[in-house]
Every structure is written in structure tokens, then in C-alpha cells.
Amino acid sequence: MITKTIKKDFPVFDRKINNNPLVYLDNSATTQIPTKVINDWVDYYSFHKANVHRGVHKLSEESTDMYENSRLQVAKFLNISKNEVIFVKNATEGANLVAFSFIPKVLKKGDTIMLSEYEHHSNILPWTEIAKVLKLNIKIIPFTEDFKVDFDKLRKESFNFLAINHVSNFLGNVNDIKKVCEICNSKKAYSFIDGAQGISHLPTNLTNIGCDFYTFSGHKIYAPFGIGALFVKEYLLLKMGEFMYGGGMITQVSLSKASYVSGVEKYDAGTPNVGAAVSLASALKYFESKDKSEIFKHEEDVLGYLYEQLKSIKGIEVYGPPLSSRAGLVSFNLKGIHSHDVASVLDNYGIAVRSGNHCTMPAHKKLNVTASVRASIGIYNFKEDVDILVNAIGSAKKIFK
């Protein structure tokens, strides 16, 4: 069971914001970091820092082992092979890596990429930009009115590559990505899943899901900024070109030509962010130490309370699917009050939420909304946080009445 003592694992909750205890409800943007992860990062930089894969001295060997063990930890978390894990700085880089090193190798002029309107800009722009270069078609994944993929219509579509999120960072709708991937496989189309919002809220057994690519950012699951991972089915690595060039990903170099290593190390050009990779592994171990099923149950309870309490407020508009089809967050607006104004008032009470378009302009436009307030939960949120939020929203209504 997840109890309030978990807040003691996170030093940020020792802070006061405007003389109030911190109520952190901006987890879809980034999660906070437990002391254990911070300590493991400090330990690496204090006692083990050295370049990986290039030295025979003790520090280099230790650093290399820690880096590769971190890759193994990511693989275990996702139930995949260590040889299918590429370290990236975030999910954005993961999408760009696939767009610019894979798409040109497998798609040709006139082929089609399927995207949804409910994507983060990072899961739109790489595909639309490479489509311009290669003269590819872009189609929109059909959704039902209750924000579910319309599988009947999707089966009738012709496409070669599909990119979709596991969970929308604006609406919170959970996509049935296993079913999506089954349809892709039946069409011999490739599937890319943006797991940034799914990684900390839902099971991520990628062998069971059956996707070709899955990427996430570490800072969405209690790790530092600047590290994430990209899963690539091992056989697809053979189809992929290089992404960045430099030391660490070559076998031979002359002034006129070069040959490159195969596998995931091909994407380790330059000095990798070893300390962050170690921290990511530490964060995943921390997450698993709390029992994933207990975390998911706890968050489901808090999210349900958040959703129902917000829906009960007069003059509020909540966006997205019903509670049974969402994870992690609720986006809303108070009628007649700009989202930034609401967020500013909430900050006075020590409450951190997100306001704006959340890097989902097409999704906001689809719903005829310019901006919204987003409250998103994490492992350390409880129903009391929701009560504080609701009371502060009442104050915002009075101020802007």
C-alpha cells in the first residue's frame, strides 16, 4: 500500500511555496526525484566518472559496467532484450531518431504515415517534417466521440507507419495500443508508441504489446532530465541508418570513408550521459520497489477522486474521456477565466499545475479550446491534495467573479 510516508522519499516536499506546503500536481510535465536516485547520481559522479567503452583503467571499466547495467535495467522494466534499448535524452529525441534514421530507409514517395490529432507536438513534428522531405502522405487516425481509436475505420485505412501516444498528455485518454499494434502488424505497417505519459501509470510489457518502437523520458518516471530510452525491435536495427556521427559508434575511419558498429551502440556517438543513465536505472528500481500494482491502484483511486471532485464544481468544463478510459491527469477550464490566471491563483496556495496548450495545439483546436489547466498526479499525491486544489479553485472563482 502506498502511504503518505512516501513523501519523505522526495526532498522537494520539505519546501514551502508561498508559506504553504507544496501540492505538486504537474507530474505530466515532470515528476520529482527521490533521494535514493539523487544519491546514486552523486555516487556516480563522486567515485566512478569516466568515459565508457574506451578505457582499460578501473574507473572506465566501472563506468562501462554501470552504463550497460542501466541499459539492462531498462530492458527488464519493459520486458525486452538489452540489445533493443537505445539511450536518448528524452522521448522527443526518440521520435526524431526513428523519423530521420528509419523512415528514409523503409518508406518511399507516396507512402503514408498515420498520426492522431491528440498527440504532443513531439509526436507530430518529426513525422510531418520527414514527410515533407520524402513526399509522404499524412493521414489522421480516426477516433470516436468518446476519444477512443475507431478500430473499424482504422482497419479500412491504408498506411505504412503509425505513430500514437500511449496516453494523451492533454486529455488523459488511454489508447489500446496492443490492438493498434495488432492492426499495424496485419497490414505490415510499423508502429511507434510515445510512452511519455504511459510509462509511470500503466503496465509496459512491450513483448506483450507488440509494438515496433516505444520511447519515454526518464523525467516522467522520477529520474533526472536529459535521459530516456527508445525501444527498437532488434531486427529493425538492421534497417536503421545512423543518426549522429562521432566517436564510440565506429569500427574504422579514414578521411574518405568510415564503417559503423551495428546494434544499439551505433546510437552512442560521443560521450553518453552515463550519470543520467545510472539515475534512470535507479528510478526504475525505486518504482518497482513500491510494487507496480500498488502504485497503479493508488493512482487510480486518487485520479478518480480528482475527476469526480472537479466535475462537481459549478462552472467548470472538464475535457476528455470518462474516468474509466483515462490515466494520470485531468484538464479543465473555469468558464470565463483564462487558464494562466487560474494557475497563478493556485500557485499562491502552493499548488503546482500546468496551464496553456500543453504542446498539443491540434488537440486543443479540435475541441475549440485555446488553453486549459491540467492537474496530473504522481505516486506521492493523495486525496488531501485534491481537497486543497478544489478549495483553491473556489478562491479563484471568487477573485475573478
Catalytic residues: 359
Grid cell, residue 95, equals 521520435
Pick from 77, 44, 1: nearest CA to 293: 1
Q: How far apart are CA 45 and CA 59, in angstroms?
A: 11
Beta strand 23-24 pairing with 85-88: unpaired
Which of 223, 136, 141 lies closest to 177, judged by CA? 141
The radius of gyration computed from the CA coordinates of the chain, to the nearest angstrom, equals 22
Determine which helix (DSSP H) or strand (DSSP E) holds 355, and give its type and residue range: strand 354-356
Helix ranges restricted to H, 317-376? 339-348, 361-366
What is the pairing mode between strands 16-17 and 20-21?
Answer: antiparallel
Strands 190-194 and 161-165, bridge-based pairing: parallel
Question: How many whole angstroms from its chain centre is CA 346?
Answer: 25
Rounded Cα–Cα distance for residues 249 and 372 (Å): 44
